[in-house]
Amino acid sequence: MSSLSFKLGLVLVFFQLGLSAQEPEVEKPAIIPQPAEIEWKDNFFTLQERTVVCFSSGAGASAAWLQRLLSNTYTQSYEMRGENCNGFNLNINPELEETLGKEGYNLEITASTVSLEAATEAGLFYAIQTLRQMFPAEIENEKISEEIKLPQVSITDTPRFEWRGSMLDIARSFFGTDYIKKHLDRMAFYKLNRLHLHLTDDQGWRIEIKQKPKLTELGSKGAVKGGRSGYLTQEEYKEIQEYAAARNIVIVPEIDMPGHIYSALMAYPELNCEDFSNIEPRMATPPELFHEYKVGWSKLCLDKPEIYDFVATVLGEMAEITTGDYLHIGGDEIEDERYKEFVVKADSIVQGLGKTTVGWEEVTQAAVDSSFISQRWNGKTKSVVKTPVIESICSSFYYDHANVPGQEMTNNWCKEDGVSLKDAYTFKVENPNTIGVEAPVWTEMVLSNEAADDRFWPRTIAMAEVGWTKEKKKDYKNFLERLGDQGLRLDLMDVNYFRSPEVDWNSDPKKGIFSEFMPKSKF
């Protein structure tokens, strides 16, 4: 027998034995945030034309989310209560909280099963978001008819911090329910769990307070030049909270006080001192609206005891309509000899309403309760009390600043060359009292949905990995590679993200093309 014939015979035997009929290697998905532990296997799971979604007691909502994902594929999926089916298995086991916490999960993909388990629905939801990133990007807004293969993998994942937040200022320029819901969808995909809404400022009052109707009848009419006015009704606010809760996100409402409050001073002039001495410099006086950018010039008349009736009324109504545990009282950029007195009283009011108080770092100049959550934005405050800390340091997390040096219509007061993707990703948490991170977008110069997207994304994705992934697991170069592989998915999710030049994006659409022509994301 010739050498060639012998070799061909061996190949035939191997094929018959199934030894060399190996499938091509499946490309490893780019998962963000980086999981705590991940072990890729050499084979894959093939999605069948019919499959079963098995779920245990308490996992019904997660099964619905998974069905929503599978509905954009060729498979016909069926829900069934039970465990260990061939197909998809969703299991809630409260005993796992000891090892996974309330938001961690295990995800195991074998040749015949995709198994997701967690201690809570939140953990299963995050497991589904990781699984979603393993599907082709097209699943975001179109039905996939081609065969889908998922790489076999074993993932154990838990978040680094409990508070992983994004902040949207809707006071300077208004953003309504449609945009807020889109933002919540995108936050959930990257495992963020707090949306801080800055609801009031000098330019506008954006939340309905039924006992103080002039706050929206008059105070909502203002906005920065070129910005949008308006407000959320209480029903809209409740709707947003319900939408967020389904995605394991808590809404944190901020009523900024005792400063940044001209919109209320205009609506209720009795909150002012005589001769408007509390408004200095006088950028506007009631009944004028304020349309400029300057902040830190207005405050409640802290010499008047009756202002606390106003504060108690507003915070009381906010507590009634807020399902989350937090009320944010602002408290930044003000000088007044009664400031500390005010902060302590406002904190006491919030505690009396059964909520946890959050405020900007200046509040810790006062002897607030140790449960008070301080949000650091410049790191310069000399605190007199130790409190839990949210890191929002402006040089890493103020995303109203430029993506790159010289970007138009952006702030630069904190960092002249802007806040880069690297600035966001390489932030190191050093305060032992830190409970998480949060990145704000202030809207003095953010006048449209597209502009807001440009400021939030992709820097918010970098911040999400800071909040979720342990420091030792982070790698900026690797992050850039994974982020580049998310480009097409972001396009198909209708995100008008800034195409950071240091990223090798896996798509190159014309700016805005997906907003105008593509079907909207279904998630």
For the chain, the 3-state helix, strand and coil shares in percent, each to the nearest 5, are 35, 20, 45
Q: Specify the length of the chain in residues.
A: 523
Local structure of 164: helix, strand or coil: strand
And the tokens for 416?
Answer: 């002249």
Q: Which residues contact 437 (CB under 8 A, 6 or more apart)?
A: 161, 163, 164, 165, 390, 391, 392, 397, 427, 429, 463, 466, 467
Residue 215: which region, alpha, beta or left (left: phi > 0; alpha: psi -120 to 50)?
Answer: alpha
Contact in structure between 172 and 443 (CB atoms under 8 Å): yes
Radius of gyration in angstroms for the set of CA atoms belonging to the chain, rounded to a whole number: 26
Per the DSSP assignment, residues forming a β-bridge with 157 are: 105
* Amino acid identity for residue 289 in this structure: L
Strand residue runs (E) in 310-355:
326-330
**In angstroms, rounded to a whole number, what is the distance separating the alpha carbons of residues 57 and 201?**
45
And the tokens for 405?
Answer: 């040096």
Contact in structure between 437 and 163 (CB atoms under 8 Å): yes
Q: Is 306 one of the annotated active-site residues of the chain?
A: no
**In angstroms, rounded to a whole number, what is the distance separating the alpha carbons of residues 117 and 37?**
15
**In angstroms, rounded to a whole number, what is the distance separating the alpha carbons of residues 201 and 186?**
26
Taken in order 473, 478, 153, 117, the sign of the CA dihedral is positive
Angle (CA) 101-106-109 rounded to 5° is 170
Strand-strand pairing, 163-169 and 113-118: unpaired
* CA distances from residue 291 to 20, 171, 232, 459 in whole angstroms, order as listed: 71, 11, 20, 28
The closest alpha carbon to 260, from 228, 306, 222, belongs to 222
Per the DSSP assignment, residues forming a β-bridge with 197 are: 168, 253
The closest alpha carbon to 419, from 494, 498, 330, belongs to 498
Residue 256: which region, alpha, beta or left (left: phi > 0; alpha: psi -120 to 50)?
Answer: beta
C-beta neighbour count of 270 within 10 angstroms: 11
Q: Which of 97, 138, 236, 333 is catalytic?
A: 333
Question: Which residues are marked as active site?
Answer: 333
